[in-house]
Amino acid sequence: MPSAPTLRSPVTIACARLLGIAILASCLVLTACKSGAEGDADKAKTEAEQKAAQDTVPVEVARVSRQAIAASYTGTAPLEARGESQVVAKTSGVALQVLVEVGQQVRAGQVLIRLDSDRAALQAAQSAAQMRKLEANYNRSLQLSKQQMVSANDLDQLKFDLENARAVNRLANLEMSYANVTAPIAGVIAERSIKAGNFVQINTPIFRIVDTSRLEATLNVPERELATLKAGLPVQLQVDALPGRPFLGRVDRVAPVIDSGSGTFRVICAFESGGLLQPGMFGRIKIDYDQRADALVVPRVALLDDEGDPAVFAVKSGKAARVPVKLGYIDGQWAEIRSGLAEGAQVVVAGKTALRDGTLVQVLGAPGAKPAVAATPAAKQN
């Protein structure tokens, strides 16, 4: 006979429903706890990354390399003309012709101005007539002396008078030549203080001539450089009036006497003007006295501002390391490293002011470098 169906009481059914609800609630609680734990872990990771990003300093680096570097001395000095002359009148007279203007190139011996020479010409003619008269008297007396008709004393007197007349005539001719004022040196007329028709007094300056073909600059150099700076060394010059155009020259001469007051000696550098350089220009001068063809160098900006203790920040394993170095020559934007760094090492050239030994760094521009993560701003309180 078939079994009769089992009948469940209402109490049993209610208990089963309560058990299912309890199991479902437990699953929901476990799921919520797991989600909360994962959220806390992600938040902690994000905060750690933000803190690490805040502690990392972005920097720019350069590699230690090899190149030629020169040892040099630099200084500043104005350019001066090697030759300059004040032209003065050696006689008085009215200026009949002024033959040159300011800025005109002249040669040595060229006539610059013509003065009135009528008085000097008359004196020269008068002295010439007196000289010819005495020459005739002397020649006649010389013939008579052979016949013993003129005493030796009278002949000597005539001879002395003739020599004096000749000297007076030469002086008169010289005075007449002074009417043509000539240039004592070749150069450019820098100043003119006379006009046609003016009366010129003797020994009055009327022109200034400057020889601009060769210019000089005088440096007052500390005595410690006395053994290194010699005549003939190459010199580079840059002037403010012609930026970006270097000029080449050489050390012309060295005055080895040390000034006891300043502790310096004079080094005179010479330059060909080339029609561009002018006296009075302010020049920046560099004298190379030694050169190394294969020196280990870093950019000069990598050096730390530590007096008497040169050092750089090198990047090692993502951190900044302060490395003391021994310097050699300094040449413009480059500094020679004699010891402390190896070729290819990375040194910080920008951002070093925020660094300490061991600071985490981020090399800008490096492959795979990521920008620093900005910290999340705090919520604004109402």
Closest C-alpha to 55, from 369, 372, 381: 372
* pLDDT at 50 (0 to 100): 53
For the beta carbon of residue 212, count every other beta carbon within 10 angstroms: 21
Residue 99: what pLDDT?
Answer: 93
pLDDT value of position 25: 53
CATH of domain 74-82+212-292: 2.40.30.170
How many other C-beta atoms can be found within 10 angstroms of the C-beta atom of residue 83?
A: 16
User: Quick one: CATH architecture of 117-178?
Assistant: Orthogonal Bundle (1.10)
pLDDT tens for the 382 residues of the chain, in order: 444 444 445 545 554 565 666 565 555 545 554 555 555 555 555 554 455 455 788 989 999 999 888 888 889 999 999 888 999 999 888 999 999 999 899 999 999 999 998 888 888 898 899 989 888 888 888 888 777 787 888 878 888 888 998 999 999 898 888 999 999 999 999 999 989 999 999 988 999 999 988 899 999 999 988 888 999 999 999 998 888 889 999 999 999 899 889 999 999 999 988 878 888 899 999 998 887 888 899 998 888 876 678 899 999 888 888 889 888 888 778 888 988 888 889 999 988 888 888 889 888 876 544 443 333 333 333 3
Q: Find, among 318, 304, 302, the residue nearest to 56 by Cα.
A: 318
Would you kindly state where each structural domain of the chain is located, as residue ranges?
A: 57-69+293-363, 74-82+212-292, 117-178
How far apart CA 190 and CA 194 sit, in angstroms, is 13
Residues 6+ apart with CB under 8 A from 312: 298, 302, 303, 304, 322, 323, 325, 340, 341, 347, 348
Looking at residue 79, what is its pLDDT? 93
Instruction: Output the pLDDT for position 374.
Output: 34
The predicted-structure confidence for 313-355, as pLDDT tens digits, reads as follows 999 888 888 889 888 888 778 888 988 888 889 999 988 888 8
- Classified as helix, coil or strand, 77 is strand
Model-level pTM? 0.56
360 DSSP assignment: B
Q: Which CATH number fits domain 57-69+293-363: 3.40.50.2300, 3.30.479.30, 2.40.420.20, 3.40.50.150?
A: 2.40.420.20
Residue whose C-alpha is closest to residue 99's, from 180, 185, 7, 17: 180
Q: Which residues contact 282 (CB under 8 A, 6 or more apart)?
A: 76, 77, 78, 79, 239, 240, 241
Quick one: DSSP state of residue 197?
T
Beta carbons of 294 and 337 less than 8 angstroms apart: no
The burial class, CB within 10 Å (0-12 / 13-18 / 19+), for 166 is: middle
- Asked if residues 217 and 78 have their Cβ atoms less than 8 Å apart, the reply is yes
